[in-house]
Amino acid sequence: MKKYLVAICVLSVALAGCAKGGAKSAVRMTGERTRAATELAQRLRDFESATAKIKALVSLSIDSEERNLRSDAAVLIERPNRIRIDVMDSLADVWAQAGSDGDTVWLYVPGKKKLYEGRATAGNMSRLVSFYLTPSDLIALVAGSPPMAEGEELEEAGAGKERHFVFAQSGLRCWLDKGVKGRVSRCEKVSDSGGLDYEITFADYRAKGGAAFPHSIDAKFPGRGAGLSIRYREVEVGGLMDPESFEPPKVRGVSTHRYKR
Beta pairing class for 172-176 and 164-167:
antiparallel
pLDDT tens digits in sequence order for the chain, 261 residues long: 555 555 555 555 555 544 444 444 344 567 899 999 999 999 999 999 999 999 999 999 988 777 788 899 999 999 988 999 999 987 778 988 988 888 888 889 998 889 988 877 655 554 555 556 766 777 889 999 998 888 889 999 998 888 999 987 888 999 999 878 789 999 999 877 778 889 999 999 999 988 899 999 999 988 778 889 999 999 999 999 999 999 988 888 888 888 766
Give the CA angle between residues 150, 153, 158 to the nearest 5°: 135
Instruction: Please name which of 141, 143, 186, 150 lies closest in space to residue 170, comparing C-alpha atoms.
Output: 150
Q: If you count DSSP H runs as helices and E runs as strands, how many of each does the chain have, helices first?
A: 4, 14
* Distances in whole angstroms, Cα of residue 179 to Cα of each of 81, 182, 205, 218, 247: 32, 10, 12, 20, 41
Residues 184/175, Cβ–Cβ less than 8 Å: yes
Is 161 strand, coil or helix? helix
Residues 59, 70: Cα–Cα separation, whole Å: 7
Instruction: Please name which of 61, 58, 89 lies closest in space to residue 74, comparing C-alpha atoms.
Output: 58
Residues 146, 133: Cα–Cα separation, whole Å: 12
Residues 144/213, Cβ–Cβ less than 8 Å: yes
Instruction: Please name which of 161, 190, 189 lies closest in space to residue 176, comparing C-alpha atoms.
Output: 161
Global pTM reads 0.85
Q: Which amino acid is at 226?
A: A
Residues 124/116, Cβ–Cβ less than 8 Å: no
Instruction: Please name which of 212, 214, 213, 208 lies closest in space to residue 239, comparing C-alpha atoms.
Output: 208
What top-level class would CATH report for the domain 2-258?
Answer: mainly beta
Give the CA angle between residues 245, 8, 1 to the nearest 5°: 120
